[in-house]
Structure 1
Amino acid sequence: MLKRTLLKSICALPLWSWPEMSGAAGQITERDVSFDWRHTRDRLVCTFHAPTCGWLAVGFNAERTLKGTRFVIAARADDTLLVEEHIAIVPGHDPVEKLGLSRAVTRAEVVHTPGGSQLRFAYPLTFPDQPRLSLAPKMATHLLLAWSQDTDFDHHSAWRKHYDITL
């Protein structure tokens, strides 16, 4: 069993104030799923909304493949926020720490909404341990969006899509 990162918080209140955002921004909307991103000076701030109270995942890859995708997977169960950062090792995925990499996700939160849940987090624009992956403005990247009806990260996704985007 993997050790989960537990962060206590109150569902109705944000954990912190988000930084002033400027620069490149974008949005993907498909039926009842939406993904928004905006750059700060040194971070990419992402918001993913899906029709679930289970886990949500957002990932990026320099290649157009699932293997090697670096992603944030998060869920809120009662007042506990579960947040991990994984790398897709097809057919599964492992936490970055298990692979000898450093965590890079910052400021993660999951809020339950009337239509499901929203995951918001910040990622650095570059990763020292993955130099080919850049989330800087105007960079092309392969985006993974997924969600599950279950809060257990070992549970398979109920929905998963991949997109080629330019940040």
Structure 2
Amino acid sequence: MMKQIMTMLMALLTAACNAQENENKSITKNKMTVSWHFKNDRIHFEMAAPTSGWVTIGFNTKTGISGAYLLMGNVVKDKVNLVEYYTKSPGNYDPISKFGVNPQVENIEGKEQFRKTTIRFSLPTTSISKYQKDLSEGMKYYMIMAYSQEDDFQHHSIMRTSVNVKL
């Protein structure tokens, strides 16, 4: 009897931990929504905006875009493109691969439908370079949210904002 009770308690504890690990958080601002959850040492994101152009999120420890780690994506002819960028200054950002860093983004999928772009992806919670950010649960950042009417990543945004988040 005691063995059965212990087994049930362990099952309940495991279920509670899994439920907590997969808890979705989200934020919506200026018609853009970003959702995330943690699973297996990775953070999984979904970003969606009312556009047929690119969408991006970024993370910085201070206000402004200088020094931010950006994840910019688009969908062109049903192909999803997602690039990790490091921002030197407003309008001056380079793919992290330019600095000899291998991109860490995985599980990339998305769609563009009815003038809405949605992109999903995951990243490790621990960064491997100074051009990225640790994205562990509980970390606080200014999250940059932006989108454009164009797919060209060099094209200016029609919406850009930042919000305080706790991952």
Match of 2:163 in 1: 163
Higher helix share: 2
- Amino acid of the residue matched to residue 139 of structure 2? M
Match of 1:138 in 2: 138
SS in 2 for 1:71: strand
Match of 1:34 in 2: 33
- 1:4-153 matches, cutoff 5 A: 22-23=20-21, 24-91=23-90, 92-114=92-114, 116-130=116-130, 133-153=133-153
Q: Report % sequence identity.
A: 26
Alignment TM-score, normalising by the size of structure 1: 0.79
Within 2, Cα distance between the matches of 1:144 and 1:21?
Answer: 28
Alignment TM-score, normalising by the size of structure 2: 0.79
- Amino acid of the residue matched to residue 47 of structure 1? E
Within 2, Cα distance between the matches of 1:166 and 1:137?
Answer: 8
Alpha-carbon RMSD across the aligned residues, in angstroms, is 2.1
Larger Rg: 2
Deviation, 1:27, is: 0.9
Cα deviation digits, residues 35-89 of structure 1 (max 9, x gap): 1110112111011110001011111123333111111111111133222111111
Within 1, Cα distance between the matches of 2:144 and 2:162?
Answer: 5
Structure 2 gap segments, 5+ residues each: 1-17
Larger mean CA deviation between 77-86 and 135-144 belongs to 77-86
Cα deviation digits, residues 132-158 of structure 1 (max 9, x gap): 832111111121111100001111111
State the aligned residue count: 148
Question: 1:21·1:38 contact (CA, 8 Å) conserved in 2?
Answer: no
